[in-house]
Structures are given as C-alpha cells and as structure tokens.
Amino acid sequence: MSAGDLAIDVQQLNKHFGDKHVVKDLSLSVRRGEIYGFLGPNGSGKTTSIRMLCGLLTPDSGSGTCLGHDVIRDTAAIKREVGYMTQRFSLWEDLNLRENLDFIARMYGMRERRRAVDEALENLGLAARQKQLAGALSGGWKQRLALAACMLHKPRLLLLDEPTAGVDPKARRDFWQAIHELAADGISVLVSTHYMDEAERCHRLAYIAYGNLLASGTAASIIEQQKLSTWSVSGADLAALAQQLQGMPGVAQITPFGNTLHVTGRDEQALAASVARLAENSAQRWERIQPGLEDVFIALMEGTAQS
C-alpha cells in the first residue's frame, strides 16, 4: 500500500501530561475512504490521540502524516483540510446557528459562504431556527450542529470525537448513512464512540485502553484474534446464577444482556466444563454463541485493568 492511500499514517506517538503517560506508542493507519472506529474506556486516551492528529497537541515523540502532511511540522496545512468535531460542544453558545456556521466558513476562507451555510442549515433541518442561539439547542441538536460545522468546509478527513453521544436513534442512523456516503466519495473518517452498534458499522477498528493500542482490524478479525468462547443463558433466577458463576473455573466475565446473561472466558474447555456442571440440574437454557464485539472489548478492558 503506498503512502498516498493512507489518510492517517502515524507511528509511535507518545503523550505525557505531567508524569502521566496518556498515549503510549500509538501507531495507526487509516486508508482513504475508510471509516475507522476508535474505541476504548473513559480516560484511555482517545481524545488526546485525536488532538495530536490534528495539531492541537504536540506529541512528545513519534512521527507520521495526516493527509500527507507531517503531524509535527505541518499542522497549519492539516488544519485546513481536516474537519475536527470536539467531544465537548465547542461552538459559540452566544452566537446563533447561522452566525456559528458563518464564522466557521470564514475561518476556512470559503468562497460562496452564504450558499454553503444555507445548504448546511437546510440539511440539518434547522433553516427555520437559524436565528436561535446555539446555547439554547438541546444536547442532541448541539451535536448535530457541531457535526455540520466540521463538515462545512468539505474536509478530506474527518476526526469525530464521540459525534453521536446523546443523539437519538433516527438521527444516529442518518448520521451513519451520511458518513458512509462521504466515505464512498473518498473521504476518510476517524470516529471515536462507545456504542457497539456503531463500532460494527466501521470498516476497521482500533481499541485503546490506558494509552495502549490493544487490538485493531476489522470487527470480525478482532473477535477472531481474542479467541473467546461465550455462552448465553436465559431463564429464571439469573441474578442468583451470576453469583454462582463468579469465580468458577474458566469464567472470566458475566455480562447481563436484557433477559440473558453472557458468560465469557478464554479457556474454552474449562468454561465448557463449568457450564456443563451448572446446566445439569437447572431450568435455565444454555447456548453457545459467537462472542460479540462488546464481549471482546470488556474482556480486553478487564485484562488490562488487572495487569
């Protein structure tokens, strides 16, 4: 793969805050037109990594390029071509919707500013409320406005930090549809999220915990790599069962999923034996299932938390 095909290509990025090592030797490559999911528990360094990619933070060490521009030296060029949506709402609450978008358009020196802003408002479905102050929007609408703002200047790479946090399901679906359309046009997207369904909609994923990149690849390959075996159990008295399972050989984690319980472990045989013992004289129904991304991520997270 030639470098020209990579929208993001960084190696060994490190970042410290004081003596806290927040991002450790992060290497990432995101292809052109790819939707790349960025997952990890709270405080794992996702936002910090994204900020380093768009020049808002200077890495302590490491190197790489973003859209072909050096992430250390060429931050001005990167800023012009990247659309960054912050995790926390960072547009101006005392400007109205149009003024916010207009300001952003000016910052990027856009021609035909008026039309671009009109279009964005129209797409958002907020044209009628354009005179409303951004601070008066509901949380979900703020997210959607911020998203529209960071796409306004038609960037070639989008860095989205939890863009759909607090957004309703319909809007989320629209958002992902739009993202896939953009990707089809060759725009690359790095998106951080805590939602598993969103993770599954990404072409590839990276999972980071406590600054370490623990897994990356397609959802299927990540699940594959972890070699987990998972059982789903349904029936009565699941809470008591969960108590019982705790600490049994082979059982690494027990996660309630609605009316079922997922029991996951790395040691397939030990887990199967434990399950067999419990299943013998009980009314619950046991079923071996494919582990999902969530099972894998929880396993990864607990694995690093212990170490």
Partner 1 sequence: MKGFSWSRWIGIMLKEFIQLRRDRLTFGMIIGIPVMQLMLFGFAINSDPKSLPTAVISADNSSLARSIVAGLKNSGYFRIVREISSEAEADRQITEGEVQFVVHIPENLARRVVRGERPALLIEADATDPSATANAVSALSGIGRTALAREFTGPLARLAPLPDPLDIRVHRRFNPEGVTQYNIVPGLLGVILTMTMVLMNGLAMTRERERGTFENLLATPAQPVEVMTGKLVPYILIGLLQVSLVLLAAHFIFHVPMQGSLLAIYAVVLLFIAANLTLGITFSTLARNQLQAMQMTFFYFLPSILLSGFMFPFRGMPGWAQVLGNLLPLTHFLRLVRGLMLKGSAAAELWPDIWPLLAFMLVVMAAGLRFYRRTLD
- Residue numbers at the binding site for ligand ATP (CB under 6 A): 17, 22, 40, 42-48, 87
Helices (H), the chain: 46-53, 75-81, 97-107, 113-124, 139-151, 169-184, 196-200, 219-226, 238-245, 268-280, 293-306
Question: What DSSP designation does 140 have?
Answer: H
Helices (H), 133-185: 139-151, 169-184
Which chain residues interact with Mg ion by CB under 5 A?
46-47, 87
Which of ligand ATP, Mg ion, partner 1, none is residue 80 near (CB under 5 to 8 Å by kind)? partner 1
Rg from Cα positions in the chain: 22
Provide the Cα torsion 74, 76, 79, 82; round to 10°.
Answer: -40
Residue 159, strand partner residues: 84, 190
Which of ligand ATP, partner 1, Mg ion, none is residue 305 near (CB under 5 to 8 Å by kind)? none
Query: What is the smallest separation between the CB atom of 104 and ligand ATP, expressed in angstroms?
Result: 23
Query: What is the smallest separation between the CB atom of 168 and partner 1, expressed in angstroms?
Result: 23
* The pair of three-digit structure tokens given for residue 230, joined into one six-digit string: 């998972």
| Residue from the set 29, 49, 65, 86 that interacts with partner 1 by CB under 8 A | 86
| Residue from the set 7, 23, 67, 104 that interacts with partner 1 by CB under 8 A | 104
Which of partner 1, Mg ion, ligand ATP, none is residue 55 near (CB under 5 to 8 Å by kind)? partner 1
Going by C-alpha positions, the residue among 306, 261, 257, 269 that lies closest to residue 286 is: 261
| Residue from the set 55, 64, 265, 292 that interacts with partner 1 by CB under 8 A | 55
In the complex, the residues that contact partner 1 under the rule CB under 8 A are: 51, 54-58, 75-76, 79-80, 82, 84, 86, 88-95, 99, 102-104, 106-109, 133
